Amino acid sequence: MAVAEKVARHRAAGYDVVVVVSAMSGETDRLLKLATSVHAEPPARELDVLLATGEQTTIALLSIALAKLGVAARSYTGSQVYIRTDNVHGKARILEIDARRARDDLAHGRVVVVAGFQGADEEGNITTLGRGGSDTTAVAMAAALHADECQIYTDVDGVYTSDPRIVPKARRLDRITDEEMLELSSLGAKVLQLRSVEFAGKYKVPLRVLSSFEDGPGTLITYEENEMEAPLISGIAFNRDEAKLTVRGVPDRPGIAAQILGDIGQANINVDMIVQNVGADGTTDFTFTVHRGDYGKAGEILKTVAKALNAREIIGDDKIVKISIVGVGMRSHAGIAGKMFKALADENINIQMISTSEIKISVVIDEKYLELGVRALHDAFGLDEPPATRPRARKAERASR
Amino acid sequence: MAVAEKVARHRAAGYDVVVVVSAMSGETDRLLKLATSVHAEPPARELDVLLATGEQTTIALLSIALAKLGVAARSYTGSQVYIRTDNVHGKARILEIDARRARDDLAHGRVVVVAGFQGADEEGNITTLGRGGSDTTAVAMAAALHADECQIYTDVDGVYTSDPRIVPKARRLDRITDEEMLELSSLGAKVLQLRSVEFAGKYKVPLRVLSSFEDGPGTLITYEENEMEAPLISGIAFNRDEAKLTVRGVPDRPGIAAQILGDIGQANINVDMIVQNVGADGTTDFTFTVHRGDYGKAGEILKTVAKALNAREIIGDDKIVKISIVGVGMRSHAGIAGKMFKALADENINIQMISTSEIKISVVIDEKYLELGVRALHDAFGLDEPPATRPRARKAERASR
């Protein structure tokens, strides 16, 4: 196995290595199907017992492959290496890790192979952390062992300034802050599970995103970066799966937003951006975006709400995209928003909605301008150049955008 | 699953139920192949981690199937239910079971589903008990819980007086003693693993052999049976896989047997029956049987030994079979051996070797007489009739045969 060789190389280079593995590709889905073929709603406790076999198979096989390469290794299930979680089966949270056993193996020169995605609750019941939980396990083990670095092997070779399929000039970032990473992840740049990044941030575990398939430095996720030295913008994310809905002419009084979104939430529809303009003549317009797959359902619900509110009309558009620029530099540097809007205006791209957070500015535009817009912004902020040559946020004062 | 329905029926009948399961058919072999495809000699510890997933899959699926039938159940791996073993990976022995957890579940009306074939050593490493270990787990759980009965579901519906494929009149036994069962098992009547029967005997667990596929009372294995009431003979076993070798004219002095069998044992060849006749003119003949597959190899080894011992000649025959009659009744009843030999003589079957133990008499005959011999003995001891109508060992004194 390629993984075994990678581990053996690290070991040969003198590092103590703890490997956290996932189930083999497709295995978790196979087990899920097996369970639901028996019972459409399998008890969560028993489903966890079943799913946990996926990683248990991998740890055994990896340890066997390491033995083949002459590398001493020991495999451990989540419960064996004392990954204690709460008892929420299927999406348990890690409460604590007793790393003594792993530390003892490392002291004896053995590689420790740990089953990701799983643990045990206080009573010893097997739990799983939910999809992507293997990343979280790795971060938690790294934190418990005060590891120098936690390397996450993925199908990409790092975090990019934007999607290379859209922006050919997109560049791999050498480093990115955890906050930027969180914003990029939540904006559709799926590299790491959000939970593992949050977890890494909490314990300040240096996290590196690498490719499973090729060698390379990857991208290092850092914490407490000196903002002054950070590039203005680290990356540009986008999301094609959005649709927007506007309720026009609703009464401009407290409680309206809650009333409109209450029924939407009840229907389990997640709302992303929300914008409410300043009203005129006692009414206002209320706009929000939802996943494109929920567009029809959300529209139906709105009809009822709009009637009750005596709203003027409902308009919607499911041919939109959201583009966001992300960077901790914008905390301390003015003019970022203006630069963004100008870059889009220069391409004659109309901005339909704007929403901002501490380190992110998002706009909604017509979907046909997606590629044009992302590339224009990538150029405007000089993301294809190495950070050293780019303008940096050097001003000490916090500036408004 | 058929098993789930069986369990549900027992539960509905008011019994507390603990189910011990094996891996699904073919699963253990699949996992073994997976391991050896990575490394021809996988480390035993890691192989156990891998193999243990087989039963873990089954306990989860059975518990899910029980939930589907409305039966509350909880699954446990070997280590979760505290099946503590020694650390001999691949063929560990159960040292103790802490049944508190299972007892607690039973008290709450839950079915307990336990992974057979596996446990954990003192340090929490996963161990497996070796093939057939699930039966042993079941017996051990039954002993720890002081169960009323331990039911072993197999592909046969009980223990028979002989192989029904050879003896059409063979009859299912309602009960059999553990000693008889052990003799029958070791003689080739493969119903239960020897270890599980030994284990059951040690803790006096009432063991019942049943069919997984059809309903029926099966065969109960009992202990401390009142020998006086036992049938003379319980069953007739046979073994087709034997071959015999004779060294003729070896010096009749101490140490000869050890010398002949020493090299055979060194070559990892198991010897079954051993017969040495009283010698004449300072020499004797030494005969033993081996598995037919080892016949050639054993013959080669004997050549060297015979030369060293200055033996007259080596003769061999791999066209033989062993037939054995088994019954605790022969302990207290005379004439069994005579009756056996007469039955064979009446059919003109020549006896080549004879060997006896407390509750068994074995003979070696030409393989072409196998069916004839077994049927003749079955008739002679009236095994096709229910035990109540058969002659019983009623004499109190222990008689020689």
d(CA A164, CA A157): 12
Given a contact cutoff of 8 angstroms between Cβ atoms, the answer to whether B95 and B85 are in contact is yes
**Does pLDDT of A353 surpass 80?**
yes
Judge whether A293 lies within some domain.
no
Lowest-confidence pick of B29-38, B65-74, B177-186, B345-354: B177-186
**Residue predicted with more confidence, B107 or A165:** B107
Lowest-confidence pick of A133-142, A188-197, B280-289, B348-357: A188-197
Given a contact cutoff of 8 angstroms between Cβ atoms, the answer to whether A87 and A121 are in contact is yes
Q: Do A60 and B124 touch (CB under 8 A)?
A: no
Closest CA to B322 of B242, B244, B235: B242
Contacts of A90 in chain B (CB under 8 A): none
Judge whether A58 lies within some domain.
yes
CA dihedral B294, B295, B296, B298 (to 10 degrees): 80
Lowest-confidence pick of B39-53, B179-193, B350-364: B179-193
Judge whether A332 lies within some domain.
no
DSSP B4: H
pLDDT digits (tens, 9 = 90+) for B235-251: 999 988 899 999 988 88
pLDDT digits (tens, 9 = 90+) for A240-259: 889 999 998 888 877 788 88
- pLDDT, residue B338, reads 87
pLDDT digits (tens, 9 = 90+) for B12-28: 999 999 999 999 989 99
Backbone dihedral angles phi then psi of residue A302, each to the nearest 5 degrees: -60, -35
Closest CA to B392 of B236, B226, B238, B237: B226
Closest CA to B319 of B358, B266, B369: B369
pLDDT digits (tens, 9 = 90+) for B126-157: 999 976 688 899 999 999 999 999 999 988 88
- pLDDT, residue A230, reads 61
Q: What Å distances lie between residue B285 and B246, B263, B299, B362, CA to CA?
A: 7, 18, 15, 19
Given a contact cutoff of 8 angstroms between Cβ atoms, the answer to whether B193 and B22 are in contact is no
- pLDDT, residue A401, reads 38
Mean pLDDT of chain A: 87
- pLDDT, residue B401, reads 38
B3 touches A: beta carbon within 8 Å: no
- Work out the minimum CA distance from B69 to partner chain A, whole angstroms: 9
Judge whether A127 lies within some domain.
yes
Q: Do A59 and B49 touch (CB under 8 A)?
A: yes
Mean pLDDT of chain B: 87
**Does pLDDT of A112 surpass 60?**
yes
A45 touches B: beta carbon within 8 Å: yes
d(CA A37, CA B61): 10
CATH of the domain at A113: 3.40.1160.10
Under 8 Å CB-to-CB from B12, ≥6 apart: which residues? Answer: none
DSSP B278: P
- Give one word for A202, left, alpha or beta, with left for phi > 0 and alpha for psi -120 to 50: alpha
Judge whether B360 lies within some domain.
no
pLDDT digits (tens, 9 = 90+) for A16-57: 999 999 999 899 999 999 999 999 999 999 999 999 999 999
d(CA B362, CA B328): 14
Judge whether A331 lies within some domain.
no
d(CA A284, CA A288): 13
- pLDDT, residue B256, reads 80
DSSP A26: T
Q: Do B60 and A74 touch (CB under 8 A)?
A: no
SS3 B27: helix
Contacts of A65 in chain B (CB under 8 A): 38-39
Q: Which run of H or E residues covers position A316? A: strand A313-317
Q: Give residues 334 to 363 of B whose Cβ lies within 8 Å of A.
A: none
Question: What residue type is A384 in one-letter code?
Answer: D
By Cβ distance, the residue of B38, B45, B73 closest to A61 is B38
Closest CA to B149 of B104, B99, B204: B204
- Total domains in chain B come to 1
- pLDDT, residue A398, reads 36
Q: What Å distances lie between residue B340 and A166, A379, B388, B397, CA to CA?
A: 90, 100, 21, 21
Q: Give residues 255 to 314 of B whose Cβ lies within 8 Å of A.
A: none
Backbone dihedral angles phi then psi of residue A397, each to the nearest 5 degrees: -75, 150
- Mean pLDDT value across residues B363-373: 94
Q: Do B38 and A68 touch (CB under 8 A)?
A: yes
- pLDDT, residue A386, reads 77
The pTM for the full model equals: 0.76
Q: What Å distances lie between residue A396 and A227, A228, A234, A333, A339, CA to CA?
A: 9, 7, 19, 9, 20
d(CA A160, CA B80): 45
Contacts of B67 in chain A (CB under 8 A): 39, 42-43, 46
Interface test mutation site (partner A, options B1, B3, B19, B38, max chain A beta carbons within 10 A):
B38
**Does pLDDT of B397 surpass 50?**
no
Q: Which two tokens stand for residue B268?
A: 């990892």
Under 8 Å CB-to-CB from A393, ≥6 apart: which residues? Answer: A227, A228, A230, A231, A232, A329, A330, A331, A332, A333
- List, as one string, the DSSP characters of B299-361: HHHHHHHHHHHT-SEEEEESSEEEEEEE-GGGGS-SSHHHHHHHHHHHTTPPP-EEEEETTEE
Q: Do B61 and A80 touch (CB under 8 A)?
A: no
pLDDT digits (tens, 9 = 90+) for B155-212: 888 888 888 888 999 999 998 888 888 888 666 556 677 778 888 888 889 999 998 8
Judge whether A245 lies within some domain.
no
Q: pLDDT band at B225, cuts 50/70/90?
A: low
**Residue predicted with more confidence, B350 or A189:** B350
Percent of chain B at pLDDT exceeding 70:
92
**Domain of residue A187, residue span:** 2-226
By Cβ distance, the residue of B34, B35, B60 closest to A50 is B60
SS3 A258: helix
Q: Do A53 and B57 touch (CB under 8 A)?
A: yes
Question: What residue type is B301 in one-letter code?
Answer: I
By Cβ distance, the residue of B46, B49, B57 closest to A50 is B57
Q: Which residues of A13-46 are buried (b: 16+ CB within 10 A; e: fewer)?
A: eeebbbbbbbbeeebbeebeeebeebbeebbebb
By Cβ distance, the residue of B50, B73, B74 closest to A60 is B50
Residues in chain B: 401
- Work out the minimum CA distance from B60 to partner chain A, whole angstroms: 5
- pLDDT, residue A385, reads 84
> First-to-last CA distance in chain B?
51
What are B20's strand-pairing partners? Answer: B114
Q: What Å distances lie between residue A281 and A249, A256, A306, CA to CA?
A: 9, 16, 18
- pLDDT, residue B250, reads 87
pLDDT digits (tens, 9 = 90+) for A325-340: 998 888 777 788 888 9
**Does pLDDT of B395 surpass 50?**
no
CA angle B290-B296-B298, nearest 5°? Answer: 50
pLDDT digits (tens, 9 = 90+) for A191-216: 677 778 888 888 889 999 998 888 89
Q: Which residues of A362-372 are buried (b: 16+ CB within 10 A; e: fewer)?
A: bbbbebebbee
Judge whether B243 lies within some domain.
no
